[in-house]
Structure 1
Amino acid sequence: MAIYEITQNSLTALVETSFGAEGIYERKDLQRHLRQNIGVISADLYVIAEEYGEWLDSNRRIDLLCIDRDANLVVIEVKRTEDGGHMELQAIRYAAMLSTMTFRQLVEAHAAFLAPTGQTPEQAEAIILSFLRWESADEDAFATEVRIILVSADFSKEVTMSVMWLNQHGLDIRCIRLKPYRLPDKRLLLDVQQIIPLPEASDFQTQIRAKEQAGREHRAEQSNGMYQFWAKLLEHAKTKSTLHAGRRPTTDGWISGGSGRAGLSFTYSARRSDSQVELYIDVGDKEKNLIVFRHFQSHDAEIEAAFGSALDWQDLPQSRGCRIRALIPGGWRSAKEDWKSLHEEMVDAMVRLERAVRPFFTSIPG
């Protein structure tokens, strides 16, 4: 889109030019201007260093290294080209290298940057703390993320597609487009536009990323908690029964053990706040399953007496299988200090269930 000069009688398009045509270079001109006027890119940035390259076994250098108000590191890469080159790949490498940076290393980088102005390392640290509004250094709150800002005259389709895909997968990358325009009186203007993500969508996308991250953390916590739950249960179960001796912990909500009879399995299940032990019946199809289920149900009084309490007999009309189960209060989200007693109750119930139904295996029809 062109930029127009408004006069009383007309709209006159300004002449779009290029950095090459104007003799404007990346490091000498664009990078220098942005370093001195970083607010042009974002109001929440502070420049830590220019041409930063304190890498192990690497001579690559970040154009501008910044921090934001949330104490995140920000990599800024600057190009004057019309396609951005491969700057997104370069910036990702830099972000990975920065991911281990400590607050002390940041202070050292800024002290080196300010050294020509006569500032001491203590003054460099004070300036950073003042920008962050911190009383003292906080390593836990420092650099929880590394953001990337790509600045170029324009971006190729490959770059923009890569950036959008990476943002969908949790990275925070912005593309800032710089377009120079020449006025009739020879003055040079610069149009600065954030094109990815669009400014009006930035807050929304930040909320989406936060929600997705929370979801990933919840799923990871759930999977890890479930795995630990089953590990502890199986550890206790092997001291009481061989039913699940060959099973390993899982992140699923159940663990099944073979009964020695095809289509019949003894299964532990765990949910957030309750658990169950069951004999699950699936010998091939619904009709055959019902025959086996009714065989056991015809002996319900004897089975429940041997088990020691009532059982829940479910023919599960919406499913192919059937089951005989015992519900137990407490699930994998119970307090970990309660797991031991819960596991003891579950294993005891499983041992009693097997003992109660096993005598009727030999008389199963067919």
Structure 2
Amino acid sequence: MALYHIEENTLAPIKKTAFEQEALRERQDIQRLLKENIEVLEDDLLVISEEYGEFEESRRRIDLLAVDSDANLVVIEIKRTSDGGHMELQAIRYAAMVANMTWENAIDAYDQYLESIEDAESKLLDFLKWDEPKRDEFANRIRIILTSADFSKEITTSVLWLNQMDLDITCIRLELFKLNDDLIINSQQIIPLPETESYQIAVREKRREIQAAKESYKDRSTYTLLMNNEVYEEGFKKSDLGYIAVTALSEYGLLDQAGFEFLRADKSCSFQLLKTLDEITDNEKKYSKYRYKKQPEIIFNNEGYFVARNWGVLYVDGFIEKLANQFKALQILKD
């Protein structure tokens, strides 16, 4: 973006410069100036911490941590580079680290930031226009603001995709110009484009509604298992179907060699029902297809086995029917 200075009847271009060229440092200069003039980035922001780093087992620090007028936490990451470095990855880490921040945590951070000179809680309540703390409404979403002299294509592409995945990331470009001995900063929001922001918010809200509708159609059925017509376990979900069935058969002494081999070979849920720890693949571990981090769930012939838990709706009825045909004492009912 070019800036021009009006000189009588002509427009004279204002020379563009760089933070490095003008010896402006990232933390001591740019961060300090933005902290005191946060409206340069966005209206209705309140900075509650600088260099926030109250994280377990981490030395990372958030440049600026703010709250917006909707009581969302806002992680602000600042770079003076012309490509933004890897700031989007850093900011996502920071957002995850403060995702569980409570009202009390925020007040503690703000109190340290104010150096206890002012009442942190009163100032935050005034900013939010709350008469009293509304803990259930605080920090329900974490927003991210990235600000840099410019952004690489890798960052802008990543941010656009992440926003489609329901993150809330804003990119603001800070361009530095020089007019005589004066330095001029031009703050420009490039993602999302201001003229499309309201539309993108509407799209994001619609996506959430669709996802919520999908969630409402998920199968949340529960089951009851009977042994010899007596209730063994009730109210369990389909993910525990195989585990409870195998456990019941074992406890009732119904697992002879033939019964065990029948269960061992079963792949009703698309995965082998029983596996030893050594047999569980890395991919099955990654997607938690077996509870392999616990003790073996069944012992047979002095060997420990884990039970598959990948029970989709389509697999359940067939497995129940197979069990009923093989083990006459066992019955599984849908609640």
The answer to whether TM tops 0.5 is yes
Partner of 1:153: 149
What are the superposed Cα offsets for residues 112-161 of structure 1, whole Å, 9 maximum, x if unpaired?
11116x22xxx110000111111111121111110000010011111111
Q: Is 1:194–2:189 an aligned residue pair?
A: yes
The one of 207, 214, 235 equivalent to 2:209 is 214
Q: CA deviation at 1:7?
A: 3.5
Q: Which runs of 5+ in 1 are unaligned?
A: 240-244, 261-342, 345-366
Q: CA deviation at 1:259?
A: 10
Q: Is the 8 A contact 1:227 1:251 kept in 2?
A: no
Q: Is 1:142–2:127 an aligned residue pair?
A: no
Structure 1 residues 235 and 36: CA distance shift in structure 2, 3 A: same
Partner of 2:264: none
Partner of 2:220: 227
- In structure 1, distance between residues paired with 2:149 and 2:321: 69
SS at match of 2:176: strand
Partner of 1:170: 166
Partner of 2:200: 205
Q: CA deviation at 1:235?
A: 7.2
What are the superposed Cα offsets for residues 262-298 of structure 1, whole Å, 9 maximum, x if unpaired?
xxxxxxxxxxxxxxxxxxxxxxxxxxxxxxxxxxxxx
* 1:103-142 alignment runs, 5 A limit: 103-115=103-115, 118-119=117-118, 123-142=119-138
Q: CA deviation at 1:218?
A: 1.4
- In structure 2, distance between residues paired with 1:87 and 1:166: 14
SS at match of 1:129: helix
Structure 1 residues 136 and 12: CA distance shift in structure 2, 3 A: same
Partner of 2:94: 94
Q: TM-score, normalised on structure 1?
A: 0.62
Partner of 2:257: none
Q: Is the 8 A contact 1:3 1:13 kept in 2?
A: yes
Structure 1 residues 141 and 259: CA distance shift in structure 2, 3 A: closer
Structure 1 residues 103 and 259: CA distance shift in structure 2, 3 A: closer
Q: Which runs of 5+ in 2 are unaligned?
A: 230-240, 243-267, 270-310, 323-333
- In structure 2, distance between residues paired with 1:3 and 1:204: 29
Partner of 1:181: 177
Partner of 1:4: 4
Partner of 1:53: 53
Structure having greater relative contact order (Cα 8 Å, sep ≥ 6): 2
- In structure 1, distance between residues paired with 2:46 and 2:198: 21
- The one-letter amino acid of 1:227's match is R
Pairwise CA RMSD = 2.8
Q: CA deviation at 1:76?
A: 0.2
What are the superposed Cα offsets for residues 316-339 of structure 1, whole Å, 9 maximum, x if unpaired?
xxxxxxxxxxxxxxxxxxxxxxxx
Higher Rg of the two aligned structures: 1
* 1:1-366 alignment runs, 5 A limit: 1-115=1-115, 118-119=117-118, 123-183=119-179, 185-223=180-218, 226-228=219-221, 231=222, 250-251=312-313
Runs of 4+ in 1 over 2 A off after TM superposition: 245-252, 254-260
Q: TM-score, normalised on structure 2?
A: 0.68
What are the superposed Cα offsets for residues 16-71 of structure 1, whole Å, 9 maximum, x if unpaired?
00001111111111101110011111102100011111111111110000001111
Identical counterparts, % of pairs: 46
Structure 1 residues 24 and 258: CA distance shift in structure 2, 3 A: closer
Q: CA deviation at 1:251?
A: 4.8
SS at match of 1:115: coil
> In the comparison of the two structures, how many residue pairs are matched?
247
Q: CA deviation at 1:203?
A: 1.0
- In structure 1, distance between residues paired with 2:312 and 2:80: 52
- In structure 2, distance between residues paired with 1:181 and 1:19: 9
- The one-letter amino acid of 2:173's match is R
- In structure 2, distance between residues paired with 1:251 and 1:13: 67
Q: Which region of structure 1 is more displaced relative to structure 2, 134-143 or 1-10?
A: 1-10
SS at match of 2:64: strand
Q: Is the 8 A contact 1:227 1:250 kept in 2?
A: no
SS at match of 1:85: coil
SS at match of 1:227: coil
Partner of 1:263: none
- In structure 1, distance between residues paired with 2:108 and 2:134: 16
Partner of 1:331: none
- The one-letter amino acid of 1:53's match is G
- The one-letter amino acid of 2:87's match is M
Partner of 1:289: none
SS at match of 1:48: strand
